[in-house]
C-alpha cells in the first residue's frame, strides 16, 4: 500500500510540474503577444509622427510661397501707385505749362 501511495504522490507531483510548465509556456506566449502589440503600437505612433512632420514641412513650404507671392504683389502695387503718381504729376506739370503759355499770350495782347 505504501508503494501505491508513493506512486500516486509521484504522479501528482509530475502532474503539477507538467501543469506548471504548461502555465509557464502560456505565460511566455502571452508576454510575447503583449510585446508584439506594444511594438506594433510604437511603430504606428512613429509613423504617425513622421507623417505629421512631413505635413508640417509641406504647410511651412506652402506658407512661405504664399508670403513670397503676397510680397511680390504688394511690391507691384506700390510700383503701380508710384508710376500713377508720377504720371499724374507730369500731366499736372504739362497743364500748368500750357496755362502759363496762355496767360503770357494774353498778357502780351
Grid cell, residue 2, equals 505504501
Distances from the Cα of 19 to the Cα of 77, 88, 107, angstroms: 86, 102, 130
The whole-number pLDDT of residue 99 equals 87
pLDDT tens per residue across all 109 residues of the chain? 555 655 555 555 555 455 566 766 777 787 778 778 888 888 898 999 999 999 999 999 999 999 999 999 998 999 999 999 999 999 998 989 888 888 888 777 6
Each domain of the chain, given as residue ranges in start order, spans: 1-79
- 96-105 own/partner pairs: CB under 8 Å, 24+ apart: none
d(CA 56, CA 49): 10
The whole-number pLDDT of residue 28 equals 73
Grid cell, residue 94, equals 504739362
The whole-number pLDDT of residue 35 equals 79
Grid cell, residue 89, equals 504729376
Running DSSP on this structure, what letter comes out for residue 109? -
Amino acid at each position: 500500500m505504501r508503494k501505491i501511495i508513493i506512486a500516486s504522490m509521484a504522479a501528482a507531483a509530475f502532474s503539477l510540474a507538467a501543469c506548471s510548465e504548461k502555465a509557464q509556456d502560456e505565460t511566455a506566449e502571452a508576454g510575447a503577444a503583449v510585446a508584439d502589440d506594444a511594438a506594433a503600437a510604437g511603430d504606428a505612433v512613429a509613423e504617425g509622427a513622421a507623417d505629421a512632420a512631413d505635413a508640417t514641412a509641406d504647410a511651412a513650404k506652402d506658407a512661405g510661397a504664399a508670403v513670397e507671392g503676397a510680397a511680390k504683389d504688394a511690391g507691384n502695387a506700390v510700383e503701380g501707385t508710384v508710376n500713377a503718381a508720377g504720371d499724374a504729376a507730369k500731366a499736372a506739370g504739362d497743364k500748368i505749362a500750357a496755362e502759363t503759355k496762355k496767360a503770357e499770350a494774353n498778357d502780351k495782347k
